[in-house]
Structure 1
């Protein structure tokens, strides 16, 4: 790939710039597209604080969940909602979206 060396005519500062590799992980090559994607993603966010909370099914119950997913996951989600409603982090009456 290589790059190019640039020198400022006024102050003599030297800067090296890599040539484009067009790799989607490269911050130089894909930064513009990444920033556009990020702006679109931010536009979809709700204008409020939000948090990601993960409830994990214990390993011993996973075979049962594979056999009876509707029953097991409905119980898991019901108990997760009940746990969140009891959480001191959520003020009473503000648990919007919880069953």
Structure 2
């Protein structure tokens, strides 16, 4: 069983949204031998990754664990598509929750 961590593709951010995700990715890869998979974090990046979900699933071994850093600020359909495809490959998906916008009143999709 392999372990993967979805990591934001973004290089720089002046807000607090990227650093915690990078820190988690760096710790999991250096200390626990996870493999990083670059993944879009904003809707604007989806055009760069037309088939990213298929590429991610093709790259992971069956029966692996994929750590998913939530929220990604991309459409929920895109995120659900990744989870469904992972489950079809018998992979577990574990969410690392950084923020829940619904609890802050920013989103009503909780």
Q: Structure 2-normalised TM-score?
A: 0.21
Larger fraction in helix: 1
Q: Structure 1-normalised TM-score?
A: 0.23
The structure with more radius of gyration: 1
